[in-house]
Structure 1
Amino acid sequence: MKYFHDGNRPTNRLAEGDQVLLDTSNLDLHHLGTTGSRKLAPRFIGPYPVLSATKPDTYKIGMPPGHRLHDEFHVSYLRPYIFDANPRRLNDVPRLITRDGHGVLQVQAILDRRVRKNTVMFKIRWYGRDNKASWEPEANLGQVRGLIERFLLTHPPPRSRSK
């Protein structure tokens, strides 16, 4: 009987530090950052590092705090992440899920500041987007207020010219 039972068990064995993708088929849509249909939601999210094996088939993974999910999953919900080194192909960027359920990219650094049409904008470098930096209005960057304050301390805005 043990032979027949073990034949259906998953054989994935993951080690600490391995990167895995999380299956989203049984997660609520608001955890995925979408409010539309499940058909348009991503099938897997991640990659996340494996922290430890809590039971023979259950692993604890490093989840960002914004996900509001339990951090232990059965091996059947995890898929090993294979990094694609092809420079023409864009690998998925881990997104944080905010309290209101929207997905946001992670800010790596603030590069510059400018004012256009009375709107303060910051040039942002994103994690996973090596050559891509974008100008974002300050109103969109409420989640990274600490980074903005640190940038303004080290790069004070220029004084206005008097006429």
Structure 2
Amino acid sequence: MRCENGSWSASPVCLPAPCSQQPPHVHNGMRVFFGNQDGDQARYICFPGYRLAGINGTYLTCSLGHWVGGSPYCEEYYCPNPGSISHGKVLKKIDNTLIAPFESYIKRIKHGHKLVFQCHVGYTLKGPGGATCVDGVWQPPIADSEEICAVAIHPPFRNLWKPIRNKRL
């Protein structure tokens, strides 16, 4: 500032300090922000199969030189083990062609993993033939284990065969 003819050339102004660093990075997600000035915000978005945790809402805010609002991270969603099904078995679909037995000791199933239901002989599948873990929820929802495989009811067969009569010439 300079004193000219008895008055100062400018008045001092104090501004809040900008954030000196970028907002924290998150694994399995991304952050979107456009500046480091006081009041600027950084939004956090997690990839499919993950949910945002460690933060109030979805934003951090630059306040007086620091990013405030929590310590964001993306945690993986899991679906619970659906258990066994009565009169059938649960299989895990590994890729489009390979299916393996699904073990009951597995407690968590990752996002995108698929299960297939198979009924024993004499029983028929009632409803969907499986389910996919989507963001911690089975889609379509898995019915009660007693309701997946029902006793097969076969229609009566009439005249399955006709006797061949020898015709004499």
Alignment TM-score > 0.5, same fold: no
Give the alignment's TM-score, normalised by structure 1: 0.29
In terms of fraction of residues, the more helix-rich structure is 1
Instruction: Please state which structure has a larger fraction of its residues in strand.
Output: 2
User: Could you tell me the TM-score, scaled by structure 2's length?
Assistant: 0.28
Rg bigger for which structure? 2
